[in-house]
Amino acid sequence: MSTFVIGYYALLIGASCLAAYFKRREMFLLIFSLTLVSFVTGIVGGAPALRLITTCAGLLALAAGTSYAFREFLILITPEGVAKELRTAPLTAAFGMFVIFTYAIAGIFAPIIAPFGEAQVISSAFAPPDETMLLGADQLGRDMFSRIIFGARNSVGLALLATGLAFFMGALAGLLAATKGGWFDQFMGRFADVIMSVPSLVFALLMLSIFGTNLTVIVIVVAVIYSPRVFRLTRAVAGNVVVMDFIEAAKLRGEGTWYLIRREILPNSTAPLIAEFGLEFCFVFLLIAGLSFLGLGIQPPTADWGSMVRENATLISFGELTPLIPAAAIALLTVAVNFVVDWMLFRSSGLKEV
């Protein structure tokens, strides 16, 4: 038995005993569960498996520490009202905000951060990483790291634009349907049902095959696909507000539809709508990445994470993990946004921590 294995188990058992002595029940359960898992894993996989567990635990600890520091940083620089809410944010939400902040910086300052242009050929095809190319070259000899940085601007920017348009159309239609009711409400509801009955990927492929694959068409098609989801949520939330007494009082005062929406209904529906925006962004982002992977999304030579996975998939056959980096970037942003959305949904539900 190596010194690493002995030290590994000694550290875990010692930490478990300390947690039990100081009556830290959650910490004890976590560490001792890790000890039991490591014991079984060590028997099956030996020292390499324990080193893998140690690496994963170290990465989790690094992520937790970064999330905590970023949350404290936000508390210090934000106004008191926002800082009070941030103090209640779990580390998962802080991690999500840190990832979103990192992606935003990469997208905004892509020309400064990226060492080369997104379409600049600087080496041979599939050149290995070196001191100038951190991640090597793609199938045309372009720097993968630079294209991933530019992909943050193109992929995330297009998804944000499509989400914003879908949210505007769906939320506006939902608010109008809840306020007016009657035939307009019924018509919009059935129209949304018709669009939602068609699988989103099939609908997108059909529309892009007919109208082309330029960015304007992609934004409009994706917005049409996801606006019915926003409509149904907005209609449900606003429907609970329009029956309130203060809405009836505003109607008796002679207030118009737009006043009711702007001053009475929308302020009382903001929290779930903001959370829905985050969820819709995840769906839109994944759909656009999928379309790009199929060749109907953002077109070359523009850098896009979905198309980068397709273009460099050949490397997987040779044991290279480079094509998985843009896929990991897509997954990481999706998970980060969901972490933040979960926290916002918890806050808007009115539940309290116990």
* Inside any domain, residue 74: no
Q: With helix as H, strand as E and coil as C, how does 225-281 read?
A: HHHHHHHHHHHHHHHHHCCCHHHHHHHHCCCCHHHHHHHHHHHHCHHHHHHHHHHHH
pLDDT value of residue 94? 92
Number of domains in the chain: 2
Helix (H) or strand (E) holding 145: helix 144-180
| 123 and 61 co-located in one domain | no
Q: Are residues 32 and 179 in the same domain?
A: no
Q: Report yes or no: 135 and 129 within 8 Å, Cβ to Cβ.
A: yes
CATH number for 275: 1.10.3720.10
| Residue 268 domain-assigned (yes or no) | yes
- 348 token code pair: 């808007």
307 and 194, same domain (yes or no): yes
Q: What is the rounded CA–CA span in Å between residue 6 and residue 50?
A: 11
d(CA 87, CA 74): 9
- Indicate whether 175 and 47 sit together in one domain: no
Computed on alpha carbons and rounded to an integer, the radius of gyration of the chain in Å comes to 25
Chain CA centroid to CA 302, Å: 22
134 occurs within a structural domain: yes
Q: Are residues 149 and 213 in the same domain?
A: yes
> Could you tell me the two tokens for 120?
């600049």
Q: Which of 348, 193, 180 is nearest to 273 (CA)?
A: 348
Residue appearing with tokens 């068409």: 217
| Domain membership of residue 26 as a residue range | 3-65
Paired tokens of 124: 């041979």
Only one residue has tokens 């006043």, namely 259
Answer yes or no: do 142 and 281 share one domain. yes
Q: Do 236 and 125 reside in the same domain of the chain?
A: yes
Collapsing DSSP to helix, strand or coil, 143 comes out as strand
Residues 133 and 56 in one domain: no
pTM of the model: 0.83
198 and 257 together in one domain: yes
Q: Is residue 75, in this structure, part of any structural domain at all?
A: no
CA dihedral 323, 329, 335, 340 (to 10 degrees): 180
Report yes or no on 182 lying in a domain: yes
Tokens of 167: 């949210």
255, 317 contact by CB (below 8 A): no
Q: Is 86 domain-assigned? A: no
Q: Are residues 14 and 136 in the same domain?
A: no
CB-CB contact of 162 with 204 (8 Å):
no
- Specify whether the CB–CB gap between 229 and 219 falls below 8 A: no
On whether residue 93 sits in a domain, the answer given is: no
155 and 22 share one domain: no
Using DSSP's 3-state secondary structure scheme, residue 305 falls into helix
Per-residue tens of pLDDT for the chain, all 354 residues: 577 778 877 888 888 888 888 888 888 888 888 888 888 887 777 778 878 888 888 888 888 899 999 999 999 988 888 888 888 889 899 999 999 999 999 888 988 888 888 888 888 888 888 888 888 888 888 888 888 899 888 888 899 999 999 999 998 888 888 888 788 888 888 888 888 888 888 888 888 888 888 888 999 999 999 999 889 888 888 888 887 777 778 777 777 778 787 777 888 777 788 888 888 898 899 898 888 888 888 888 888 888 888 888 777 777 677 778 888 888 999 999 999 988 887 876 654 544
Residues 6+ apart with CB under 8 A from 8: 38, 50, 54
109 secondary structure, DSSP code: T
CB 217 within 8 A of CB 211: yes
Assess if residue 77 is contained within a domain: no
Q: Are residues 270 and 340 in the same domain?
A: yes
Token digits of residue 52? 């893998």
Give the pair of three-digit tokens for residue 299. 């077109």
Q: Which token pair is 29?
A: 């359960």
Query: In this predicted structure, what is the pLDDT of residue 97?
Result: 93
Say if residue 270 is exposed, middle or buried (CB neighbours under 10 Å; 0-12, 13-18, 19+). Answer: exposed
